[in-house]
Copies of this chain bind each other. A is one copy, B any other.
Amino acid sequence: MEHNRTAYVILGMLSIEPSKSGYNIRKAIESSVGYFWSESYGQIYPTLKRLAAKGLIAPSQSNSAPKQRRQEYSLTEAGHACLQEWLALPFQNDPPRNEFLLKLFFGREAAPSVSIAHIRELQKRNRHMLASLEELDALAHAHPSQNPHLPYWMLTLSLGTALTRSALVWGESALEQLTALDAAAPANPQPAESSAAQEKP
């Protein structure tokens, strides 16, 4: 219990919409901060218990619609203060992990076609990503709202679209360079995979 950001995401979600259940929080995370954060039930439920034990959140009745027997929670004063305290702390750079770049870096160990295929796949994923982000943006513009959170949400959105667009531009150029490389070096480095590649680490 030291560097546990799960707790803060939960607090943050409850600060936006008071009284949510664990299931609900997970859904909300997926559909909002899902582009840059994720949490699993295995983290959420135990953390909810812990937060409640510490008095940072409190169980609240699902008065609105008692459809399912589910436990909802809402932020306490202490919880809100705790969230604000964390927000003011400097953010940390999470350890970098990008398997795409890793494979591209080792690309010369395989045929150029392998790297080309990876980049094509990246382009595909990024086009989908961009479409989702632009849809969100259009949605926000179509339903103008005074939601005070919105300026902040739009900022995260605009960074996402900027980075995705940038990656797409890079992808086109990278594809050109790699196809040129492929043409220039017919019998390139490693011809193909030997038939005896059974072992996995």
Contact = CB atoms under 8 A, between A and B. Distances in A.
A166 to B, nearest CB: 4
Contact of A104 (B103, B156, B174): B156
A70 interface: no
Interface residues of A, number: 90
A15 B77 CA distance: 56
Given A91-B100, A96-B38, A166-B162, A106 B197 contact: no
A56 B197 CA distance: 10
B15 A109 contact: yes
B109 A201 contact: no
Contacts of A177: 151, 155
A11 B121 CA distance: 24
Interface stretch (A19-27, A59-67, A135-143, A187-195): A187-195
A110 B87 contact: yes
Contacts of A167: 159, 162-163
A121 B38 contact: no
Nearest to A77: B194
Given A54-B199, A162-B167, 15 more contacts: A35-B96, A50-B201, A78-B196, A81-B194, A82-B200, A82-B201, A90-B118, A90-B121, A91-B102, A91-B118, A104-B155, A107-B155, A162-B169, A163-B170, A165-B166
29 contacts: A4-B201, A9-B102, A12-B102, A15-B106, A15-B109, A16-B106, A33-B105, A35-B101, A36-B97, A36-B102, A51-B201, A54-B201, A81-B199, A82-B200, A84-B109, A88-B110, A88-B193, A91-B118, A91-B121, A93-B99, A94-B99, A104-B156, A107-B152, A108-B149, A108-B152, A159-B167, A162-B166, A162-B169, A165-B166
